[in-house]
Amino acid sequence: MGISVTRRWWLGATIAVVAAPASLRAGRSSRGQAMQLRFTFDTHDFTATLGDTPTARDLMSMLPLDLTIEDYSTNEKIAHLPRRLTEDGSGTFSGEAPGDLCYFAPWGNLAFFYKGYRYSRGLIRLGRLDGGIGPLLTRGSFPLSVQGLP
């Protein structure tokens, strides 16, 4: 049985594309698409590429965000999110390195690592900073803008 492409089919397909959420039309959260974030604070503007995970897609669904980035401990900066992200598909990981962007589920915050760290329960790796850790070395607390890139 062959598939017949009719005007009605084209009209339905066109309506489906137009009615889809903007994030899906831009390819920002579709499976298999690279998802990128742009962060801006103080004089810094940098990007991160996220993995294709349920937690990363949930973060993308919240954009744009205005948060506060602040120092925590001696190896990371953190930013608290307005709501918790899904933990579906999370689990242990290895290869921890400076430049990792993670979600710490127990506190509901993003963690930007600029020095070595070890996996701990509740930590979910979202992706990696694209241009290195330089911006994270600026000490202090700052307003942080988070945008998705198409």
pLDDT band at 144 (very low <50, low <70, confident <90, very high): very high
Q: What is the pTM of this model?
A: 0.78
A 10 A CB-CB count for 29 gives: 20
- pLDDT, one tens digit per residue, over 41-61 is 999 999 999 999 999 999 999
DSSP state of 144: E
pLDDT band at 9 (very low <50, low <70, confident <90, very high): very low
In order of 5, 30, 48, 92, 135, the CA distances from 38 in angstroms are: 41, 18, 7, 26, 12
pLDDT band at 13 (very low <50, low <70, confident <90, very high): very low
pLDDT band at 18 (very low <50, low <70, confident <90, very high): very low
A 10 A CB-CB count for 131 gives: 12
The domains of the chain are located at 26-149
Query: Residue 32: what pLDDT?
Result: 60
- pLDDT, one tens digit per residue, over 113-122 is 999 999 999 9
Query: Residue 31: what pLDDT?
Result: 54
Q: Which of 48, 55, 57, 51 is nearest to 24 (CA)?
A: 57
Query: Residue 34: what pLDDT?
Result: 81
CATH, domain range 26-149? 2.40.100.20
